[in-house]
């Protein structure tokens, strides 16, 4: 039997090797595809913490993805225009340094997750699903109608942001950055799962009454998980914007929220390896199937239906023969 640890390390290693092989074979486009998969996987690592471990069916994670994207877009835009941001009496210069952008992306999306979580966690079940979906739409419409940063058209950033000591314009180096963050986030979640926090969160999903009777408030755990989850997905959003050198309201769209959820489910909900497997499978299908047939989303829909109705453990479940961790 393949253990979760082996599967996760194997999936990460495979993704890294694909990118390296493509780099050696001088196929930068494939490196970019692998980068896309790594970033989507990172977004899914975030959602998986809330969804797989916490049982919070968030259909609004594009909010955090989009906020991360706009954190990058707005900071880099101010830097590229040499025009400081004015908030009241404050003047903040933009930046094109990735670490600074990441920090802001994580902080902003974590804060948004805190606010949305405080409201949405007043309810449960279908209400939670509908509310997260609705807040996603709110951010989408706000981004469309707020004219300062491109409105509906979005913002283009001419040069990819920098990272000290690296040439981020080199596809394999940028992949390395994204991959390192993905590995770090996966490691973080793996650690959380073994720690009392993950144990309690996992139990709170299955038997909230028991957790309460053991002296633990499930709602606080869920809120904390939602905040960390949002922050990780926000970081992925900043990377995605840097990959495309472009942000637009589409990063807030409900389709994207749905897709992040599809990565998690396709790979295996609650599984450490799920996000990487699911995101890689999605990007591979998008590339191959999308190249063959314009309407490949029909096939994706059928596949998803099949997974939900007949193979609930996703890819990780098929590989390990268990539908649960």
> Residue 205 in contact with residue 54, Cβ under 8 Å?
yes
Q: Does 10 bind other proteins (CB under 8 A)?
A: no
- x/- mask, other proteins, residues 72-111, rule CB under 8 A, reads ----------------------------------------
125 touches other proteins (CB under 8 A): yes
Is 232 in contact with 185 (CB distance < 8 Å)? Answer: yes
Q: What is the contact mask toward other proteins in residues 264 to 283, using x (rule: CB under 8 A)?
A: -x---x--------------
Q: What is the phi-psi region of residue 216: left when phi exceeds 0, alpha when psi lies from -120 to 50, beta otherwise?
A: beta
Closer residue to other proteins, CB minimum distance, 14 or 134: 134
DSSP three-state, residue 61 = coil
CB of 198 to other proteins, least distance (A): 9
Nearest CB to other proteins, comparing residues 81 and 126: 126
- Nearest residue to 113 via CA among 60, 51, 73: 60
Residue 298 touches other proteins, criterion: CB under 8 A: yes
Residue choice 144, 184, 285, 289 for contact with other proteins (CB under 8 A): 144
Residue from 145, 169, 180, 288 touching other proteins (CB under 8 A): that is 145
Enumerate residues 6+ apart whose C-beta is below 8 A from 256. Answer: 62, 65, 66, 250
Task: Kindly indicate which of the ranges 71-79, 86-94, 162-170, 195-203 contains the residues binding other proteins, using the contact rule CB under 8 A.
Answer: 195-203
Eight-class DSSP state of 96: -
| Closest alpha carbon to 195 in 58, 49, 46 | 49
**Alpha helical stretches, state H, the chain:** 4-24, 28-48, 62-80, 98-120, 125-145, 171-194, 196-206, 208-213, 218-244, 254-267, 274-292, 297-310, 314-320
> Which of 200, 223, 239, 277 is the binder for other proteins (CB under 8 A)?
200
CB of 308 to other proteins, least distance (A): 5
Map residues 163-192 to x or -, x wherever contact with other proteins holds by CB under 8 A: ----------------------------xx
Residues in the chain: 325
Two tokens, residue 89: 């009496």
Work out the number of other CB atoms within 10 angstroms of the CB of residue 167. 11
Residues that bind other proteins (CB under 8 A): 51, 57, 59, 119-120, 122-123, 125-127, 129-131, 133-135, 137-138, 141-142, 144-148, 191-192, 194-197, 199-200, 202-203, 206-207, 209-217, 220-221, 224, 254, 258, 261-262, 265, 269, 295-298, 300-302, 304-305, 307-309, 312, 324-325
């Amino acid at each position: 039997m393949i253990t979760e640890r082996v599967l996760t390390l194997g999936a990460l290693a495979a993704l890294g090797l694909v990118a390296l092989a493509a780099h050696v074979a001088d196929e930068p486009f494939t490196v970019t595809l692998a980068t896309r998969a790594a970033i989507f996987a990172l977004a899914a690592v975030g959602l998986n913490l809330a969804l797989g471990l916490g049982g919070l069916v968030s259909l609004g994670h594009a909010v955090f993805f989009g906020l991360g994207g706009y954190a990058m877009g707005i900071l880099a835009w101010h830097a590229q225009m040499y025009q400081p941001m004015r908030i009241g009496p404050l003047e903040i210069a933009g930046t094109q340094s990735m670490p600074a952008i990441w920090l802001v992306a994580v902080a902003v999306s974590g804060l948004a997750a805190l606010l949305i979580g405080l409201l949405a966690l007043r309810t449960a079940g279908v209400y939670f699903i509908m509310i997260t979906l609705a807040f996603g739409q709110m951010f989408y419409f706000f981004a469309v109608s707020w004219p300062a940063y491109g409105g509906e058209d979005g913002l283009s950033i001419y040069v990819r942001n920098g990272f000290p000591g690296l040439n981020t314009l080199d596809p394999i180096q940028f992949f390395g950055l994204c991959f390192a963050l993905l590995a770090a986030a996966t490691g973080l979640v793996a650690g959380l799962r073994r720690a009392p926090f993950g144990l309690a969160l996992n139990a709170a999903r299955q038997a909230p009454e028991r957790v309460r009777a053991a002296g633990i408030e499930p709602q606080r755990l869920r809120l904390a998980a939602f905040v960390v989850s949002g922050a990780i997905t926000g970081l992925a959003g900043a990377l995605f914007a840097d990959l495309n050198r472009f942000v637009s309201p589409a990063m807030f769209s409900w389709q994207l929220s749905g897709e992040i959820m599809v990565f998690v489910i396709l790979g295996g909900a609650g599984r450490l390896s799920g996000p990487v497997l699911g995101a890689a499978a999605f990007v591979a299908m998008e590339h191959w199937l999308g190249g063959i047939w314009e309407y490949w989303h029909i096939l994706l829909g059928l596949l998803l239906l099949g997974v939900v109705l007949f193979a609930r453990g996703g890819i990780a479940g098929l590989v390990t023969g268990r539908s649960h961790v």
